Structure 1
Amino acid sequence: MIKHFELRRNIFHLFYGLTYVLLIYFNIFHLIHLLVLLLIGTIIALASLKYKLPFISWFLEKFERPDTFPGKGALTFLVGVIFAVALFDKSIALAAIAILTVGDSFSHIVGRFYGKIKNPLNSLRFLEGTLIGALCASFGAMLFVSPIKAFIASFIAMIVEAVDIKLLINGWAKRWVFDVILDDNVIVPLVAGVVLSVL
């Protein structure tokens, strides 16, 4: 049951991310639209803490872990997209979002269902997931940057994704302050974007 739930979450993650890629690529969404969407999403998430909202409650039950802030995955993903669009050129931003979308989804799916070798960087992750995730991410990024840049950025981003940085920060206050900024959905596109900018 848990595996089916996680599979469903990661398939949603894949299509959710691809939607952003298409909307940004075709100039339908710009930074202002993403910021407004984040504001609306945050208001809905806060309301969900107190009220059972039609459709939203069903959606959260199907795709969000019960022990986390409502819509956290979708909101942190959007934060990552906003950073990518705000900080990098369009091609790099799209490649970074593609790396997050494809790499994160496949790393979790492959690791959870087929992983055998523990990732030395994180005992909760599997090496097969990280490698396949990086490979798939590079194919997605190749649509926007050169193959070699896509390959390097994808592997570095997926290696960073395998490390749970939040576990390295001790203390209740620090955990809450950095919970969003250090989320994989934010870290991966930032790392990918920086690497692509340097290359």
Structure 2
Amino acid sequence: MQFNELEVKRKLFHLICGLIIVILVDLGIFNSLILGIILILGIITSLLNKKIEIPVFYWLLKQMDRKDDLKNKPGNGAIYFIAGCLLSLILFEKNTALASIMILSIGDAVGSLIGIHFGRIKHPLNKKKLIEGTIAGIILSFVGAVIFVNYKEAFFGAVIGMIVESIELRYKNFVVNDNLTIPLFSGLAIYLLRII
């Protein structure tokens, strides 16, 4: 795969934001209410940026957004990322939610970066993805998740999260954003393993 500076910046930003959210939630500084407020403000800012260029936000979006998103859906990736984190905090108990956010943050970012730079083997579930990225995503998101849940739950959550990341889920013509599906399915996997 070809080196893409924008995607590297996006994934590093994704990783850093996810780790910050996990730390702030774990310390009790952030909760679902605060993330909900951030999500609403993000949606409002996105809608405003379609009409006018809000100086600081527009500059940041120009640095991080894909051209199509900047024009049609400014901040789309960040909005879905925050929504995925919020969904985890609402649906799961704290440690499961934090583990699933780690899988989203680390697995998705690292998987893409490793796939872009070192990947050679096409993924059997998605020809746009590379298997080396998925394997790296599983390993490193497991390391992040095991901070909050036991090793079996962390591994199962990481595997399910990275499988979901590699599949393009669609509903009619709508592609379901993996920033929603990764934490949802990895958290659900951890929860189900725990109750079985």
TM-score (norm 2): 0.93
Percent identity among equivalent residues? Answer: 35
Render the CA deviation track for 1:10-34: whole Å, top value 9, x for unaligned: 1101001111101100011111111
1:189 is aligned to 2:183: yes
Out of 99, 111, 115, the residue aligned to residue 111 of structure 1 is 115
The RMSD of aligned alpha carbons is 1.2
**Alignment partner of 1:74 out of 75, 78, 85:** 78
Pairs aligned (count):
189
Alignment of 1:166-181 (within 5 A): 166=170, 169-171=171-173, 175=174, 179=175
Cα deviation 1:161-197 (Å, max 9, x = unaligned): 100112xx434xxx2xxx5xx2100000000110111
1:89-133 Cα shifts (integer Å, max 9, x gaps): 000000000000000000000111111000010010000001111
Partner secondary structure for residue 149 of structure 2? coil
| TM alignment of 1:48-197, pairs within 5 A | 48-68=49-69, 69-166=73-170, 169-171=171-173, 175=174, 179=175, 182-197=176-191
Residue of structure 2 equivalent to 1:25: 26
Q: Cα distance, 1:143 vs. partner?
A: 0.4
Change (3 A) 1:97 1:196: same
1:45 corresponds to 2:39: no
Structure 2: segments with no counterpart, 5+ residues = none
Whole-angstrom distance in 1 between the partners of 2:3 and 2:186:
30
Q: What SS class does the counterpart of residue 131 from structure 1 fall into?
A: helix
Which stretches of structure 1, 4 residues or more, deviate above 4 A after TM superposition? Answer: none
Please give the alpha-carbon distance, in whole angstroms, between the structure 2 residues aligned to 1:31 and 1:4.
32
1:164 aligned counterpart, secondary structure = coil
Partners of 1:115 and 1:39 lie apart in 2 by 37
Q: Which residue matches 2:15?
A: 14
Asked if the contact 2:3–2:117 (Cα under 8 Å) also holds between the matched residues in 1, the reply is: no
**Partners in 1 of 2:99 and 2:121 — Cα distance?**
28
Compute the TM-score of the two structures, normalised by the length of structure 1.
Answer: 0.92
* Shift, 1:2, TM fit: 6.0
Matched residue type, 2:96: I
Asked if the contact 2:3–2:116 (Cα under 8 Å) also holds between the matched residues in 1, the reply is no
The letter for the 2-side match of 1:6 is E
Question: What is the SS of the residue equivalent to 1:70?
Answer: coil
Aligned equivalents of 2:82 and 2:47: distance in 1?
16
C-alpha separation in 1, matches of 2:126 and 2:144: 25
Q: CA deviation at 1:149?
A: 1.2
